[in-house]
Amino acid sequence: MIIQFSVGNFRTFKDRVTLNMVASNYDRETRETDNIIFNTKYNFRTLKSAVIYGANASGKSKFMEALMFMKHFAINSSKDSQQGDEIDIEPFRLNSESVSSPSEFEVIFLHEDIQYRYGFEVNKEKVVAEWLYQKPKTKEIELFYRDLQSFEIHQKTFKKGALAVKEGLVRDNALLLSLTAQLNDSIAINVINWFKSLKTFSGLREEGYHGYTISRTKEPKTKLRILELLKAADLGIQDIRLELLDIEKLPKDLPKEIRERLIRESKEENSEIVSDVLTSHRQYDSNNKYIDDIHFSMDIDESSGTRKFFALTGPVLDVLENGYILVVDELDSKLHPNLVCKLISLFNSKDLNPRNAQLIFNTHDTNLLGSGLFRRDQIWFTEKNKFGSASLYSLADFKTDSVRKNEAFEENYIRGKYGSVPYLGFFDSLTFKKILMQDENEE
* Same domain? 145 vs 26: yes
The enclosing domain of 175 has a CATH number of 3.40.50
Please report, in tens digits, the pLDDT of each residue of the chain (443 residues total). Answer: 999 999 999 999 999 999 999 999 877 777 888 999 999 899 899 999 999 999 888 999 999 999 999 999 999 999 888 899 999 999 999 999 999 999 999 999 999 999 999 999 999 999 999 999 999 888 999 999 999 999 999 999 999 999 999 999 999 999 999 999 999 999 999 999 999 999 998 866 777 788 889 989 989 999 999 999 999 999 999 999 998 765 665 666 667 666 566 566 666 655 667 778 999 999 999 999 999 999 999 999 999 999 999 999 999 999 999 999 999 999 988 888 889 999 999 999 989 999 999 999 999 888 888 888 999 999 999 999 999 999 999 988 876 555 556 665 656 655 566 665 554 444 455 555 565 566 555 55
User: What is the reported pLDDT for 118?
Assistant: 98
* Same domain? 184 vs 217: no
* Same domain? 219 vs 126: no
Query: Considering 319, 352, 375, which residue would you say is the last residue of a domain?
Result: 319
* Same domain? 304 vs 327: no
User: What is the reported pLDDT for 243?
Assistant: 84
User: What is the reported pLDDT for 374?
Assistant: 92
* Same domain? 101 vs 26: yes
* Same domain? 279 vs 368: no
Q: In terms of residue numbers, what domain contains 268?
A: 206-319
* Same domain? 268 vs 175: no
Q: What is the pTM of this model?
A: 0.86
How many other C-beta atoms lie within 10 A of the C-beta of residue 90? 15
Which residues, in sequence order, are CB contacts of 419 under 8 Å at separation 6+?
381, 383
* Same domain? 22 vs 170: yes
* Same domain? 229 vs 183: no
User: What is the reported pLDDT for 372?
Assistant: 86
* Total number of domains in the chain: 2
* Same domain? 328 vs 435: yes
Query: Considering 300, 319, 338, which residue would you say is the last residue of a domain?
Result: 319
* Same domain? 374 vs 277: no
User: What is the reported pLDDT for 424?
Assistant: 44
User: What is the reported pLDDT for 33?
Assistant: 87
How many other C-beta atoms lie within 10 A of the C-beta of residue 416? 11
* Same domain? 388 vs 365: yes
User: What is the reported pLDDT for 320?
Assistant: 95
Query: Considering 302, 319, 336, which residue would you say is the last residue of a domain?
Result: 319
